[in-house]
Amino acid sequence: MPETAMRRQNLKTPGWAQKAFAWALHAGNRVMRDTPERKRPLFAALSGRVLEVGAGAGANVPLYPKDTQLIGVEPNRFMFRYLREESQKFRRVMHLLNGRAESLGLQDNSFDAVVCAHVLCSVDDLAAALNEILRVLRPGGLLLFVEHVAAPRATPLRVAQRLLSPFWQRVAGGCRLDRELWRALDRAGFTELTYEHFRLPWAVLFSPHIMGWARKPGPRRPQRG
């Protein structure tokens, strides 16, 4: 299964299904190589205290600079085994919390950056999730995102996404094929919203992708170095 198809499990999902989902995501991370290389320049800009929302099976762990302080929030506890394995393998320390994007339960203004990678397609309440991210970011902090989004309106691919999305939500952890994420980001209250569209050869139905960053209003922290 592609990474975009294997995201957050609903908390009502039976335990056996969550376990299978975690295994499948871990297996998928091993066979995909193009997405991490695209993400690497984006992750290189991270520093300080970083929160990954929907940390999954740890695909992003090797991309974090070694001096970052990592906290991962993940609703599926069966993912924790794989997150720990990846952290040990790449000599990173990630503190793990069981939780959801819409209710992080973390302090206000406590993170220099938040990372979302193939997660925002699956949250139940996107506006609430973005509000939570803004809340926990420090003024001037960054949201980094890599997500698949809806195809252009009135195209055959968009029609297919709209028709298949209800079924796909049920079998793929709530993943929406036709979510216009860029519009939600534009309305959420971030500033300096910057992103690019791109396509992946294996992700025909999950196209296009967007990758970029948005900044919480406020003074920036001094640059390291």
pLDDT tens-digit map of 105-124: 999 999 999 999 989 998 99
Structural domain that includes position 191: 3-215
Please state the domain count of the chain. 1
Mean pLDDT of 146-171: 88
pTM: 0.83
In a domain, 221, yes or no: no
Return the sign of the alpha-carbon dihedral for residues 204, 38, 65, 215.
Answer: negative
Higher pLDDT, 86 or 133: 133
Q: Is residue 222 part of a domain?
A: no
Tell me, what CATH number does 191's domain have?
A: 3.40.50.150
pLDDT at residue 158 is higher than 60? yes
Over residues 158-187, the mean pLDDT reads 87
Interacting residues of 66 by C-beta distance below 8 A, sequence separation 6+: 91, 92
What is the average per-residue pLDDT within 123-133?
A: 95
Domain contains 225: no
Please name the helix (run of DSSP H) or strand (run of DSSP E) that holds residue 38, with its range, or none: helix 34-43
Where are the extended beta strands (E) located within 108-172? Answer: 111-117, 137-148
In a domain, 43, yes or no: yes
- Residues 34-58, mean pLDDT to the nearest whole number: 86
